[in-house]
């Protein structure tokens, strides 16, 4: 994998236990079912969207949702076996796409073999030091004769002691196996903001020794992303800071919200100017964006922004058709549905959206400033937002309109004269005179304008 390929990537995020229709609970005595093979027909569709990287959610043996790991070395029997995953990764790589797997290192499930040994042998267990804040002077909420730390109070998720050398060796050996057997291109680290930075630094050194281009992306919700994204720890993190602003700017007719966030992150004095953050509008943990937006037509300016703002765009499976899904009080199942590909193509809630995403993906791939360029805010109002992406040898102006009406804008630009060619809308051309240009923006849409001084 060349170093630039992740930065050039468009991701497709799959939650396989959901998409493949696996049972909610893993009955360990049941036979293996090779459901992962049902992902193969999706590869054509994924490539048609312009995607060149797949982030595959948890695939290793777990008790239920995949984030309660039982065995890091075996594929979940509800999805298949190690050979099933090897075959799938080969198909992905044959198409020139990258594959990133979910790595759940902060915690394990209660069926994890070392925890089962602890339940059996108590203080005499050889693995008593594998778990964080383990105490034998009190009981756990689950009735164990000891207490332990659960992830954010969830006691089905047992926090690992990642400072223990044997725990690190067990996890790093698993990563080596994933690299050797599946040829993965990187990892998405679950709950990375809960993991000790020393562990992340050692993981970085280890994975880079396997493959200098091995990519590490962390799930981080709050905080200064520079703490995690640097040469010693991770290559990227989830851009939750921008996530909310992308949709709520539309709901509230307030582009100032996302404009402020992007300027803080990537503007002239932006704190993340040199970072490639992982951008998304929904995922397996949050409501589908089609359920968040008050106006369904806003899906179009929303994805237009996702593919033109700084960072790496990601599409969550099914959202390319505008499907809905709201998190339940006790279950995320509505966010992680089984989908039939051919039925979705025939009965998509928003049948024009996937084609629009494919167009935006191609435009992004064809215009390096949209991937690697600097960011500069040009104009912002409640329902209009214009910014410039600049790179040596190219400049692209992006103009968004979330109003239900045609809008005429007269913009001050940094160029005295020149031409703007709209690569999104039939290559319409606009002339710049005395640093000004007049643009008409269609309702709930925008323009992607390639600048030339000729």
- CATH number, residue 442: 2.60.40.1180
Residue 94 lies in a domain: yes
Whether 218 and 309 map to the same domain: the answer is: yes
* 190 is a domain residue: yes
What's the pLDDT band for 1 if we cut at 50, 70, 90? very low
Strands 374-380 and 384-391: what pairing? antiparallel
pLDDT of 367 strictly over 50: yes
**Is residue 436 in a domain?**
yes
5 lies in some domain: no
Query: pLDDT for 385-432, tens place per residue?
Result: 999 999 998 999 999 999 999 999 999 999 999 999 999 999 999 999
Q: What is the pLDDT of residues 90-116, one digit of tens each?
A: 999 999 999 999 999 999 999 999 999
| Per-residue confidence (pLDDT) for residue 5, from 0 to 100 | 82
Tens of pLDDT, residue by residue over 4-60, are: 589 899 999 999 999 999 999 999 999 999 999 999 999 999 999 999 999 999 999
Q: Any idea what the CATH number is for the domain that residue 120 is in? A: 3.90.400.10
Residue 190: band (very low, low, confident or very high) from pLDDT cuts 50, 70, 90: very high
Range of the domain at 377: 372-452
Closest CA to 381 of 261, 293, 254, 260: 254
pLDDT value at residue 2: 42
Q: Which of 324, 346, 369 is the last residue of a domain?
A: 369
Query: pLDDT value at position 3?
Result: 41
Residue 1 falls inside a structural domain: no
Do 263 and 313 reside in the same domain of the chain?
yes
Check whether residue 292 and residue 363 sit in a common domain.
yes
Lowest mean pLDDT among 1-15, 33-47, 162-176, 347-361: 1-15
Considering the domain boundaries, does residue 3 fall inside one?
no
Do residues 66 and 149 share a domain? no
If you average pLDDT over every residue of the chain, what do you get? Answer: 97
Q: Please report whether residue 43 resides in a domain.
A: yes
447 — phi, psi (to 5°)?
-135, 150
Q: pTM for the full model?
A: 0.97
Question: Same structural domain for residues 112 and 44?
Answer: no
Tens-place pLDDT, residues 434-454: 999 999 999 999 999 999 997
Residue % of the chain over a pLDDT of 70: 99
d(CA 96, CA 379): 38
Q: Write the Ramachandran bin of 362: left for phi over 0, alpha for psi from -120 to 50, otherwise beta.
A: alpha
pLDDT at 221: 96
Q: Report how far residue 289's alpha carbon sits from residue 137's, in angstroms, rounded to the nearest whole number.
A: 46
- CB count in 10 Å sphere of residue 140: 17
355 and 392 together in one domain: no
Q: What is the pLDDT of residue 288?
A: 98
Query: Looking at residue 47, what is its pLDDT?
Result: 98
- Can you tell me the distance from the alpha carbon of 189 to that of 174, in angstroms, rounded to the nearest whole number? 14
User: In this structure, are 175 and 272 located in the same domain?
Assistant: yes
* Residues 120 and 151 placed together within one structural domain of the fold: yes
pLDDT over 90 (residue 246): yes
Per-residue pLDDT, averaged over 58-76, amounts to 98
């Amino acid at each position: 994998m060349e170093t630039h390929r992740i930065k050039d990537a468009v991701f497709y995020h799959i939650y396989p236990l959901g998409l493949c229709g696996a049972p909610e609970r893993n009955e360990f005595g049941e036979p293996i079912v090779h459901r992962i093979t049902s992902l193969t027909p999706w590869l054509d569709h994924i490539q048609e969207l312009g995607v060149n990287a797949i982030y595959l959610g948890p695939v290793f043996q777990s008790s239920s949702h995949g984030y309660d790991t039982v065995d890091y070395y075996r594929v979940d029997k509800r999805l298949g076996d190690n050979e099933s995953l090897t075959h799938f990764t080969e198909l992905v790589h044959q198409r020139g796409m990258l594959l990133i797997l979910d790595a759940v290192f902060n915690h394990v499930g209660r069926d994890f073999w070392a925890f089962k040994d602890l339940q059996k042998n108590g203080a005499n267990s050889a693995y008593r030091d594998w778990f964080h804040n383990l105490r034998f002077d009190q009981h756990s909420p689950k009735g164990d004769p000891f207490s332990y730390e659960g992830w954010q109070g969830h006691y089905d998720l047992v926090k690992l002691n990642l400072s223990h050398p044997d725990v690190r060796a067990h996890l790093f050996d698993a990563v080596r196996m994933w690299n050797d057997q599946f040829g993965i291109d990187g990892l998405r680290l679950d709950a990375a903001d809960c993991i000790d930075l020393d562990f992340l630094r050692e993981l970085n050194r280890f994975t880079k020794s396997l493959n200098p281009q091995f990519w590490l992306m962390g799930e981080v919700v709050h905080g200064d992303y520079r703490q995690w994204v640097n040469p010693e720890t991770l290559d990227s993190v989830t851009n939750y800071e921008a996530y909310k602003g992308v949709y709520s700017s539309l709901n509230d007719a307030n582009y100032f919200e996302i404009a402020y966030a992007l300027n803080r992150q990537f503007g002239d004095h932006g704190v993340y100017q040199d970072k490639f953050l992982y951008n998304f509008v929904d995922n397996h943990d949050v409501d589908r964006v089609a359920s968040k937006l008050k106006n369904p037509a806003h899906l179009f300016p929303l994805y237009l922004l996702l593919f033109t703002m700084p960072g790496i765009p990601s599409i969550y499976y099914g959202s390319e058709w505008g499907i809905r899904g709201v998190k339940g009080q006790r279950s995320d199942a509505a966010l992680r549905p089984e989908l039939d590909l051919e039925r979705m193509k025939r009965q998509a809630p928003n049948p024009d959206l996937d084609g629009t995403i494919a167009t935006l993906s191609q435009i992004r791939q064809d215009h390096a400033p949209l991937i690697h360029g600097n960011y500069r805010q040009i104009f912002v109002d409640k329902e209009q937002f214009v910014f410039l992406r600049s790179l040596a040898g190219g400049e692209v102006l992006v103009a968004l309109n979330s109003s239900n009406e045609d809008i005429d804008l007269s913009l001050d630009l940094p160029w005295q004269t020149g031409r703007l060619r709209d690569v999104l809308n039939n290559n319409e051309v606009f002339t710049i005179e005395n640093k000004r240009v007049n643009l008409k923006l269609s309702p709930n849409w925008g323009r992607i304008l390639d600048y030339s001084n000729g």
